[in-house]
Structure 1
Amino acid sequence: MKRGLSASICLLLIMISLPSTAVITPNPPELSAKGYVLMDFNSGAVIAQQNARTELAPASLTKLMTAFVVGQEIRSGRLAWDDVVSVSKNAWSANFQGSSLMFIKPKDEITVRNLMTGLIVQSGNDAAVALAEHIAGSESAFVSLMNGWAQSLSLEDTRFINAHGLDGDGIKTSPLDMARLLTALIKELPEVYQLYGLKTFQWNDITQYNRNKLLWDRSIDVDGGKTGYTEAAGYSLVSSATEGSMRLISVVMGASSEQSRASASKALLNYGFRFFDTQQVMDEGQIEARVRVWKGQPENVGALVDQDAYLTLPRTVSSGLSKKVIVDKWITAPLAKGDLLGRVEWRNGGNIVATYPVVSAEDVTLSGWVGQVWDGIKLRFSKMLAWLSSQMGGGND
């Protein structure tokens, strides 16, 4: 048994392909886009998708990662919202004619908060470069940070080449990666995410409006997201909306127009809220089983889930859910708190619909040498009996 494996590595697996006899849920809406994903925020379940892992040009969706890196610098204490950034010639808006701009110029002294607002609301390419240079010394060094964070978030289809997202060789992402990125941003950086709900921002006597049209739609509670457009990418939109305690993330990439990306995103979100539901089924720290630890002190340890656990299922699935705890029978000391012990499987009609890791609730040290020898003998005998049972056709579940 490998030790030190965190629950975040053993991520939950959600499957909603339940038997057709048990679930009557319509197909997702047909959308005109290069790819899309609809994901539940809490469970991570992918409710609907098309070309979810197709590599596409991100355009200004790149700025989600730019903002994420800045937010992590603030979170770590290495940067503050009120820090003042001196704008260089590289970040001058004149360098990005015909693209989204905050309209800053060399030698401007601007706070991180204002640049972040210009980055998020106005999608300023100039603001992206100014922030990148302030944090890392150069845009290229900042891009290394972006790609490092992409790797840590397991964004397997993503590679950044700049801080703003304008087209270039090698830049890529996927709808699934963008859904995961926005999820991480909302969870880890709520103060940054609040800026995505702002509808307007004025800088240099120019008032600009957030390009996410769903922020103005009163029929759906979208509280943030990011738009993107280049000729290579088409029109893209990442959005998040809530209904009651449920939050969904939608990603539409490569639509044909601003209106198309907004209407497609709304259709996806409405589909998810209407036909699916997410419920919390386990609490962080909840003990699911007691596990025998050979050669250890104590001899038994609690196996717990170290995160709140959620299930996202079609609303027509109202009964038949069952839970099964599966742990390794041959766990030996020493153990560290948080070591992986097994998993909890949630099933519906015999089908696994979700899996969560269970980990050790405490440290387990080696027992004395007499206990280790005696447990070693019992362990060998137990394994022999289990092997004989399996050879005779007995179950070993």
Structure 2
Amino acid sequence: MDRNWLRRLAILLPVIVTAMAVCGPLKAQSFETDLPRALLLDVQTGTVLFETGADESFEPASLTKIMTAEVLFHEISEGRVSPDQQFHVSEYAWRTGGAPSRSTAMFASVNSDIAVSDLMRGLVVPSGNDAAIVLAEGIAGTETAFSLAMNRRAHDIGLKASNFVNASGLEAADQRTTARDLARLAVHVIETYPDLYKVFAEPEFMWNKIRQRNRNPLLTLNIGADGFLTGYTEAAGFSLVGSAVLDGRRLIAVVSGAKTARDRDQEARKLLDWGLRSFEVRRLFSAGEVIGEALVFGGDKQVVTLVAPADIDVLALRNPDARLTARIVYDGPIAAPIAKGAAIGRLEVLSGSTRMFEAPLETGEAVEQGSLHRRAFDAVYEWATSAVRQAFERLI
């Protein structure tokens, strides 16, 4: 029997459960909320500071307009739409989303022509449903066609649980999203369109002699907030996506399911304030540092080291007793030959049961194909242990 069999099995078992603890015991989150859905994300490190119900599907309501804005910003950045371009206000847009609808509107006049730059402000500042529909029709011809573009862009961005059927967020069957998707979308908008994103911070907008304040309540709370939107449906309750910056750190907060607008606003503020003041940056691993090993199949080495391709920083609670858990995840054993620098795994960092952050891991050296004897032994070994893995997976 190979003298390293026990060592190989010890490496294999963590692979079965896809976890190897490297940073200490679990620690529960220290923020509490009664809201059913909430997520707080640090943009710079990608650390999830808090989440509850983050993958629960709900109706986005006017938060849909963030996706509408993304499509508009994308069209402008690609040169297919100009801010000076004029779009026509159809009767459908006016009646469905304008003054006759008694919903949030920029109060565009029917059969008028409005510059895209003004429609963009009408979309974001007063959360105008009429502006959303006019933009959709101007870009894609119909709101239905525009919704197809919204879903294509959502797929490209990496939204995994969202579906859009209109541009305004007015109630419609099958229009769904999650807090995690909205946070990902918010980060994308900020990082991809930094100049266009500034419209979200404009305090007011006037059209047709009607002055409206920005509907984002966080902008007036002196916490560094600079954008995004609110939403409401009877089924989903009151929701909000907000972004705030303090001392160069940007956080994205998503809350949903509040019973009142006041509850929504207070919980969003508390969440952002807690995140901005309660955390510090911790370096877990430096670039090139060996973090662990992965089992190799059919190679001239039995294991390959896994290293961090870049510094791995996370935000952790300033509490000196706060501890994190990290685990290496990969699908092994890895078949040789293996090139140096191959991306074959990832590091997941957890606080309690919350996955705060993940980073790619690369091989620290090359592994050549082993001898015929080694490959034959590994084939028998893999066959013999596959039953153990399958039995263990059924238990967990």
Name the TM tier (shorter chain): 0.7 to 0.9
Question: Which of 78, 81, 98 matches 1:79?
Answer: 81
Question: Which of 263, 267, 276 matches 1:264?
Answer: 267
Q: Aligned residue for 2:179?
A: 175
Cα 1:359–1:191 change in 2 (3 A) is: farther
Residue 116 (structure 1) aligned with residue 130 (structure 2): no
Q: Aligned residue for 2:317?
A: 314
Q: Aligned residue for 2:255?
A: 252
TM-score (norm: length of structure 1) = 0.73
The alignment of Structure 1 onto Structure 2 pairs a total of residues equal to 355
Residue deviations 1:342-385 (CA, integer Å, cap 9, x gap): 4457799xx99754214599xx9xxxxxxxxxx65658748858
- 1:135, CA displacement in angstroms? 1.4
Question: Which of 58, 62, 65 matches 1:63?
Answer: 65
Cα 1:376–1:235 change in 2 (3 A) is: closer
> Do 1:39 and 1:48's aligned partners in 2 also have CA atoms closer than 8 Å?
yes
Cα 1:343–1:80 change in 2 (3 A) is: same
> Do 1:212 and 1:262's aligned partners in 2 also have CA atoms closer than 8 Å?
no
Residue 101 (structure 1) aligned with residue 95 (structure 2): no
Question: Which of 202, 206, 210 matches 1:206?
Answer: 210
Q: Aligned residue for 1:394?
A: none
Q: Aligned residue for 1:232?
A: 235
Q: Which amino acid letter does the alignment assign opposite residue 88 of structure 1?
A: S
- 1:305, CA displacement in angstroms? 6.4
> Do 1:89 and 1:105's aligned partners in 2 also have CA atoms closer than 8 Å?
no
Residue deviations 1:302-359 (CA, integer Å, cap 9, x gap): x986777531222225899899999999676797x996244457799xx997542145
Q: Distance in 2 between matches of 1:41 and 1:330?
A: 32
Q: Distance in 2 between matches of 1:156 and 1:338?
A: 28
Cα 1:320–1:144 change in 2 (3 A) is: closer
> Do 2:224 and 2:244's aligned partners in 1 also have CA atoms closer than 8 Å?
yes
- 1:25, CA displacement in angstroms? 6.4
- 1:387, CA displacement in angstroms? 8.6
- 1:95, CA displacement in angstroms? 4.9
- 1:195, CA displacement in angstroms? 1.0
- 1:177, CA displacement in angstroms? 1.8
Alignment of structure 1 residues 149-168 onto 2, 5 Å: 149-168=153-172
Cα 1:243–1:331 change in 2 (3 A) is: farther
Residue 222 (structure 1) aligned with residue 225 (structure 2): yes
> Do 2:215 and 2:230's aligned partners in 1 also have CA atoms closer than 8 Å?
yes
Q: Which amino acid letter does the alignment assign opposite residue 187 of structure 2?
A: T
Residue deviations 1:96-136 (CA, integer Å, cap 9, x gap): 41101011123322222211111010101111111111111
Cα 1:86–1:376 change in 2 (3 A) is: same
Q: Aligned residue for 1:242?
A: 245
Cα 1:25–1:324 change in 2 (3 A) is: closer
Question: Which of 168, 192, 195 matches 2:196?
Answer: 192
TM-score (norm: length of structure 2) = 0.73
> Do 1:279 and 1:310's aligned partners in 2 also have CA atoms closer than 8 Å?
yes
Which runs of 5 or more residues in structure 2 are unaligned?
Answer: 1-18, 294-305, 385-396
Cα 1:338–1:72 change in 2 (3 A) is: farther
Cα 1:212–1:347 change in 2 (3 A) is: closer
> Do 2:161 and 2:178's aligned partners in 1 also have CA atoms closer than 8 Å?
yes
Q: Distance in 1 between matches of 2:323 and 2:49?
A: 20
Cα 1:334–1:125 change in 2 (3 A) is: same
Q: Distance in 1 between matches of 2:149 and 2:95?
A: 23
- 1:83, CA displacement in angstroms? 2.4
- 1:201, CA displacement in angstroms? 0.9
Cα 1:279–1:90 change in 2 (3 A) is: farther
Q: Distance in 2 between matches of 1:247 and 1:73?
A: 26
Q: Distance in 1 between matches of 2:211 and 2:321?
A: 49
**Secondary structure of 2:271 counterpart:** helix
Q: Distance in 2 between matches of 1:346 and 1:24?
A: 13
Question: Higher mean Cα deviation, 339-348 or 224-233?
Answer: 339-348
- 1:89, CA displacement in angstroms? 2.4
Q: Distance in 2 between matches of 1:321 and 1:254?
A: 29
Q: Distance in 2 between matches of 1:353 and 1:209?
A: 35
Cα 1:308–1:144 change in 2 (3 A) is: farther
Cα 1:345–1:92 change in 2 (3 A) is: closer
User: What CA RMSD, in Å, does the superposition of the two structures yield over aligned residues?
Assistant: 4.4
Q: Distance in 2 between matches of 1:202 and 1:305?
A: 51
Q: Which amino acid letter does the alignment assign opposite residue 221 of structure 1?
A: G
Cα 1:185–1:280 change in 2 (3 A) is: farther
Q: Aligned residue for 2:133?
A: 129
Question: Higher mean Cα deviation, 119-128 or 248-257?
Answer: 248-257
Residue deviations 1:7-41 (CA, integer Å, cap 9, x gap): xxxxxx9x9x9636xx5863x1333x342222222
**Secondary structure of 1:201 counterpart:** strand
Cα 1:269–1:345 change in 2 (3 A) is: closer
Cα 1:174–1:134 change in 2 (3 A) is: same
